[in-house]
Amino acid sequence: MSALTMSGDFGLEKPVDRARQEAPLGGSSITSQPVVEAVAEPVKEKKMEKTASLPVAETGTPIGERLGALGRAILPPLLGMVVLIGIWYIATMKGGSIPGPLQTWDAASVLFADPFYRNGPNDQGIGWNILSSLQRVGIGFGFAALVGIPLGFILGRSPFLSAMINPIISLLRPVSPLAWLPIGLLVFKRADPAATYTIFICSIWPMIMNTAQGVQRVPQDYLNVARVLALSEWKVVTKILLPAVLPYILTGIRLSIGTAWLVIVAAEMLTGGVGIGFWVWDEWNNLKVEHIIIAIFVIGIVGLVLEQSLILLARKLTKESS
Amino acid sequence: MSGAHNMEKFVQIQSVGQTFDTKKGKFVALRDIDLTIKQGEFVALIGHSGCGKSTLLNLIAGLTLPTTGVLLLEDREIAGPGPERAVVFQNHSLLPWMTCFENVYLAVERVFGAKEGKARLKERTAAAINLVGLDHASSKYPHEISGGMKQRVGIARALSMQPKVLLMDEPFGALDALTRAKLQDELMKICDVSKATAVMVTHDVDEAVLLSDRIVMMTNGPAATIGEILEVKLPRPRHRLTLAHDPAYIDYRAAVLEFLYEKQAHVEKMAA
């Protein structure tokens, strides 16, 4: 018999429990198909598809209409940016401590002309600062995935362990990752691993929780298929559990990376060294306010790119299971 | 090989009862089920919803184990699910991340992978898909095909395993009438050719009479059991159009309807 039955939670009350059609946290879904669908005469299905695809091909949108659609998609965000910069411009017109858009632009062009210079440990180009922040996030995040995803699987499969560990997670999850920083400094004795460690701490919770939830929500139907086929545990994990849980894992990863990028800036402000957070603090000490504003934009853009690329990855990987 | 004895008593269900522990206490779903199925026989389980038809099917599948009594296949106790008792699930249960081919291949590989090479396994998969007439949809994903096609892939997956018993849980219940009729005809042909032993849960009287050698009619739950067993002695191959005017067919149909709506109607009234 398949080792699946070892968990013993098949719910004797409803042995062939129908697929619960719930979407994972965050959207993408692994629902089993709804039962009633338009059905053509099976023999004619192939022909039907062909004829059905013809009119679609013929009614290609004219170029003018396409440009219109493109304009409608781009114009509002563009307008939003213009308004933001306009307000910024007006607010800083009379001078004061906060530089206006033009000054900031000038500073940015100087800054980005040479993003990868090194003048000693505390004076490096903005490129190096971004890269070292990304590196910390990558390492902390990678470790969190390495620990969190398997742990989530275990918690999802074992009601006992889940009941045992869930209260601990609930207790620790609301704690700001920065509260862990002193412990990290104490344990690692150095600032760099301590910052990485805070990223680990803040990334791991969404990974554990989402993976566990995904495992718990694998439709009973799929598990019944596995049982009838008497698949080996390896096949169950690779052919059924992993694909079914993947959308949940990706949601966990996406939530984590957002928080990780938020936290790294704060952590680096406290630990120093090289990194975008430290750089912000350093420029504050130098009173180069235009650099701080540039940093805000840079942090925003990097965060946006991280999140969007993960959404893209998730869409690519889960396209098949939609 | 098993002898004549086993042919007659291929599947044996002996005083089987099923009780579930619920939050409201014990719930007796089935009691005193005794049934013997011959090899090559097509048996339909029919009854009102909640009468434990699917529970009985799950017991034969081994997905659940009986509280009392024993189930045997070829004189061996059914102690758990296994590929020699293939199940066609009500809602097809195809894995959405695999193509139709891969879904069937998963089953073929499991059953024959130890003995046969990859090429032969692929041949078997293609043959099963061909049997249900889905060659053109082989490389499509389940969400790209219609409900009827999905159910046919489900049947192909079950048949590809060359099971000793084919178990079907309302396989056509979710389909429209035309598609259902077409698939019933296909299933009849497949069963005639492969001489498969099949148990099908249904709530469709016409389906039961058309397909079955015997119709097992179940009383209403809770504590449901077998009410009557009707032997359908219509010659094969059967054709739905000629049968529609066949007096014997009409009599069988009437007998099942009578059981469902007269003898077993009172519980429904009580529940209402």
pLDDT for residue B240: 87
Complex ipTM: 0.83
B268 versus B127: which is more confidently predicted? B127
Q: Identify which of A230, A235, A322 has the shortest CB distance to residue B82.
A: A230
Q: Work out the mean pLDDT of chain A and round it to a whole number.
A: 78
Q: In which band, very low, low, confident or very high, does the pLDDT at A208 lie, cut at 50, 70 and 90?
A: very high
Q: Identify which of B97, B136, B175 has the shortest CB distance to residue A321.
A: B97
User: What residue ranges in chain B does DSSP mark as E strands?
Assistant: 11-22, 25-37, 42-46, 68-73, 76-77, 85-88, 165-169, 197-202, 214-218, 226-231
Least confident segment among A29-33, A286-290, B109-113, B116-120: A29-33
> Is the predicted pLDDT of residue B103 greater than 90, yes or no?
yes
Closest chain B residue to the Cα of A2, Cα to Cα? B81
pLDDT for residue B4: 54
> Is the predicted pLDDT of residue A272 greater than 80, yes or no?
no
Q: In which band, very low, low, confident or very high, does the pLDDT at A108 lie, cut at 50, 70 and 90?
A: confident
Residues of chain B in contact with residue A231, where contact means CB-CB under 8 angstroms, are: 106, 110
Q: For chain B, give the number of residues.
A: 272
pLDDT for residue A58: 45
Q: Does B140 touch chain A (CB under 8 A)?
A: no
Selection from B21, B37, B39 nearest residue B29 by Cα: B21
Q: Does A222 touch chain B (CB under 8 A)?
A: yes
pLDDT for residue A147: 94
pLDDT for residue B255: 92
> Is the predicted pLDDT of residue A48 greater than 90, yes or no?
no
- For the domain spanning A101-318, the CATH number is 1.10.3720.10
Residues of chain B in contact with residue A19, where contact means CB-CB under 8 angstroms, are: 91, 93
Q: Which residue has the tokens 């259902």?
A: B180
What number is the average pLDDT over the span B4-25? 84
pLDDT for residue A68: 83
Interface touch B133/A322, C-beta < 8 Å? no
B239 versus A54: which is more confidently predicted? B239
> By percentage, how much of chain B surpasses pLDDT 70?
95
Order of strands across the sheet with B226-231? B85-88, B165-169, B197-202, B42-46, B214-218, B226-231
Residues 223-242 of A with CB under 8 A from B: 224-225, 227-231, 235, 239-240
Q: Does A186 touch chain B (CB under 8 A)?
A: no
A71 versus B211: which is more confidently predicted? B211
Residues of chain A in contact with residue B179, where contact means CB-CB under 8 angstroms, are: 39, 42
Alpha helices in B13-117, H assignment, sequence order: 53-61, 100-112
Q: How far apart are CA B42 and CA B212, in angstroms?
A: 5
Interface touch A228/B149, C-beta < 8 Å? no
> Is the predicted pLDDT of residue A25 greater than 90, yes or no?
no
For chain B, list the domains and their CATH numbers.
1-77+202-272 (3.40.50.300)
pLDDT for residue B251: 92
Q: In which band, very low, low, confident or very high, does the pLDDT at A31 lie, cut at 50, 70 and 90?
A: very low
